[in-house]
Amino acid sequence: MNFLFLLHKLLVFQPFSLNGKTKIVHESINAFILSPKQFNDKNNKIREHVIETIINDNIPTKYYDNPEWLSLRNKISQFVTQLGSTHNDNEPAEKVECIRKGGRKFNYDFVIKYHYRNKSPRLCKVEFKYGADEIEDAPQFVSPMRPSQYLTNSYEEYYFDKYLPLLSSVSGFSIPPKYEYLKQIHTDKPECVGLYQNLYYRGCKDSSQYTGEPKAIQFYQNAKVNAKKSIETFIEQTDILDKKLSDYLVCSQHDKNYMLYNGGKIVLQTANPDDYTIDKVEKQPEKCRWVATSFSGKRINILLRWKNGNGIAFPAFQIQ
């Protein structure tokens, strides 16, 4: 009986994928159960793909024999209906379509498209946040690139002048031309510091490129220490351009809706512009951040970080 049951399950719940994306299996529902942080990126891709596929009605009907799958579908359907009514759609949509976005190009995860018989489609931007009941509970709501455009000084130039020479002396690598560095540093893999990046990941235990070479480990440790020190000293002498950053934050949240998932519940919230308009800022260099207070009294943490290796590539803000 056990063998026949397993065989039936394998036949009924065969993995499938749409457009070459992450495969969905019957157990994909487990991604909506709280899991260790190290699996969050992987699970979040699964969650987003599941949400998209449910809205587009592409999940095999048999999956909904499972009460957890059925419950998730019902809650997502309620969210989609509520979102449509929030935008004052008196005429019911004939069809609802979900289009995945996300990535660094977009600051939202989906576009939910409502199709109508007698008027143009309505597009709603949606940001999915797992483990949050409120927008402010979400770990990060936006990550602006080229952070120095919102600062009174250039961090990229500061790091190049003061700290890249330290990495050069540890590694023995030459320092690239400054104009090339400033042109390329806002990419995942800047060619001008390719040797630095390769050595960094060979010394990072969490990297698949880790080799355990003493030189690489020393370089990695130096890069981490110097990156933190550079950010601390830079913040001490640099202010936020309040108006410019506020304009970006308000624009990034304009017309954006949040799908907040926590403990099996899905909540719809929309952003308040006053939550993202900066009133005052204090410096916390020891925590590598500025802390802003918005007009509505909300706290905004503005962290300066490196996305692809400490002191190596892609400086950006992480705003919480």
Instruction: Give the model's pLDDT for residue 173.
Output: 97
Instruction: Give the model's pLDDT for residue 44.
Output: 87
Instruction: Give the model's pLDDT for residue 23.
Output: 80
Q: What is the DSSP string of 129-156?
A: EET-SSGGGSS-SB--BSGGGGBSS-HH
Residue 208: pLDDT over 50 = yes
Compute the average pLDDT of residues 112-126: 90
For residue 38, CA distances in Å to 261, 276, 303, 305 come to: 19, 30, 21, 19
Range of lowest pLDDT (9-18, 58-67, 130-139, 294-303): 9-18
Confidence band of 6 (pLDDT split at 50, 70, 90): very low
Compute the average pLDDT of residues 216-238: 97
Instruction: Give the model's pLDDT for residue 49.
Output: 94
Compute the average pLDDT of residues 126-135: 88
Residue 203: pLDDT over 90 = yes
Bridge partner list, 291: 282, 301
The Cα–Cα gap between 56 and 77 comes to 11
The Cα–Cα gap between 270 and 319 comes to 18
Instruction: Give the model's pLDDT for residue 136.
Output: 72
Average pLDDT, the chain: 88
Range of lowest pLDDT (1-15, 85-99, 160-174, 248-262): 1-15
Instruction: Give the model's pLDDT for residue 317.
Output: 93
Residue 178: pLDDT over 50 = yes
Compute the average pLDDT of residues 71-84: 95
Confidence band of 72 (pLDDT split at 50, 70, 90): very high
Compute the average pLDDT of residues 303-314: 95
Residue 197: pLDDT over 90 = yes
Confidence band of 12 (pLDDT split at 50, 70, 90): very low
Share of the chain above pLDDT 90, in %: 67
pTM score, two decimals?
0.74
Compute the average pLDDT of residues 176-187: 97
Indicate the DSSP class of residue 115. Answer: E
The Cα–Cα gap between 152 and 273 comes to 24
Instruction: Give the model's pLDDT for residue 251.
Output: 87
Residue 135: pLDDT over 90 = no
Fold category of 14-130 in CATH: Trna Endonuclease; Chain: A, domain 1 (3.40.1350)
Instruction: Give the model's pLDDT for residue 145.
Output: 87
Cβ neighbours of residue 17 closer than 8 Å, sequence gap 6 or more: 23, 24
Strand, coil or helix: 99: strand
Confidence band of 117 (pLDDT split at 50, 70, 90): confident
Range of lowest pLDDT (8-17, 40-49, 63-72, 206-215): 8-17
Indicate the DSSP class of residue 33. Answer: S
Domain ranges (residues) in the chain: 14-130, 136-254+275-320
Based on the number of CB atoms within 10 Å of its own CB, is 182 exposed (0-12), middle (13-18) or buried (19 or more)?
middle
The Cα–Cα gap between 147 and 304 comes to 8
Compute the average pLDDT of residues 266-286: 92
pLDDT tens, position by position, 162-173 = 999 999 999 999
Instruction: Give the model's pLDDT for residue 202.
Output: 97
